[in-house]
Amino acid sequence: MIETWRWFGPKDTISLRKIRQAGATGIVSSLYDIKTGEAWPLEQIIEQKEMIEQEGLTWEVIESIPVHNNIKTRTGDYLRYIENYKISIENAAKAGVFTICYNFMPVVDWTRTNLNYTLSNNSQALRFEMTDFAAYDVFMLKRKGARDSYSAEVMDKAESRFSQMNEEEKAALEKNIIAGLPGGEGSYNRESIGEAIQQFVDLGTDKFREHLFLFLNEIIPVAERVGAKMCIHPDDPPFSLFGLPRVVSTADDAQALLDACPSPANGLTMCAGSYGARSDNDLVQMVKRFAPRIYFVHLRNVIREADGSFYESDHLQGDNDMVGLVHALLTEERRRQSSDDPNDNNILIPMRPDHGHTLDDEQRDVSVKPGYSYLGRLKGLAELRGVIHATSHIMDSKL
């Protein structure tokens, strides 16, 4: 696999030099100054690509070209935004970046309730706490029908939890949920998020899925023509929030998406942490099932709880079988190496150590993005590199 690292562009406090010293060879990045919906200029893609290459690295994956909400609802100026998206794909390919990760989550991108959850060793992790989320949804956002989204047990805990929150804790919870997270598209306030949520709730799951497929039928032929690979990121978390539709949460969702547009340019991002937050997703079997269409991998682990809560654990310790997952991915790479199919030209799969704990020194650094600390990802990458190396060695010895 190609070891990559998420880099937030020239303004990132983690330099390309530090990334190279961490052992990564590839970069996963975006053009963060381009407004969502606008076409990416070829010159800016080339400029950032050259900046990356000057440090001896390669720009392996674009993560992401955001999809405007008007495309998701097919309202307003959505046709112009689709045309701009096509231009961005074409320009990325002209610049020599051919793998594009994107998501189709409505309103909120990846969602957590606690960005500094303290673990037993005093490092800090990202956490989704169902009780806190329900408390926000029901008692702060006051979404219509919100109580029906939660069990009586969760509601009892949420009401008790909310009654004990001070104003500072309420503000922090709201910021964590709706104010935009690293890698997200932006932020909402309480009024605007309520309006956006209702628009998608009214749309419904079936119609939302139809809009995704219509979008794919527009952009995938462009990607196929220019040699690009589109790989959709799953919902995070992979279940409904705020009553919103979710359409990339399960193996059946992934199969429906691939069937809707059966092109080799239409692929998946295997995010172990996102898919793995559901106990009914067998990640190893999903890799085996969808292997030829997996073009990008996020490797991270989670520890799940019965009510849907979870936190991000060490990369090799959690509910996801990381060794089995790596073995399945390496098996697919070897299949591609021996294949005569021109669609298998992406032999090596880019992977990045997704998220990382915030360790001691970085906890006092206000510039550190939760989930994107240098030391935490350095630790995760080193652990994953060891698993990949050992698994490859064992597989080689059996040949």
The number of residues in the chain equals 399
Look up 233 and say whether it is catalytic: yes
Closest C-alpha to 370, from 88, 113, 10: 113
Which positions ≥6 away from 399 have C-beta within 8 Å?
none
> Which of 49, 132, 141 has its CA nearest to residue 93?
49
357 is catalytic: no
Calpha distance 114→125 (Å, rounded): 8
Given 233, 315, 327, 357, the catalytic residue:
233
Distance in angstroms (rounded) separating the CA atoms of residues 145 and 138: 9
Burial of 256 (0-12, 13-18, 19+ CB in 10 A): middle
Q: Which of the residues 117, 275, 311, 372 is marked catalytic?
A: 372
Token pair, residue 171, equals 């503000």
Known catalytic residue: 311?
no
Residue 271 known to be catalytic: yes
**Angle 314-370-128 from CA coordinates, rounded to 5°:** 70
Q: Which of 81, 117, 275, 298 is catalytic?
A: 298
Asked if 327 is an active-site residue, the reply is no
Q: Name residue 259's amino acid.
A: D
Q: In what order do the strands lie in the sheet with 310-313?
A: 114-118, 124-128, 310-313, 301-304
Catalytic one of 102, 231, 271, 357 = 271
Helices (H), 145-247: 152-164, 167-178, 190-203, 205-226
Which of 137, 355, 357, 374 does the annotation list as catalytic? 355
Q: Which residue numbers are catalytic? A: 233, 271, 298, 354-355, 372
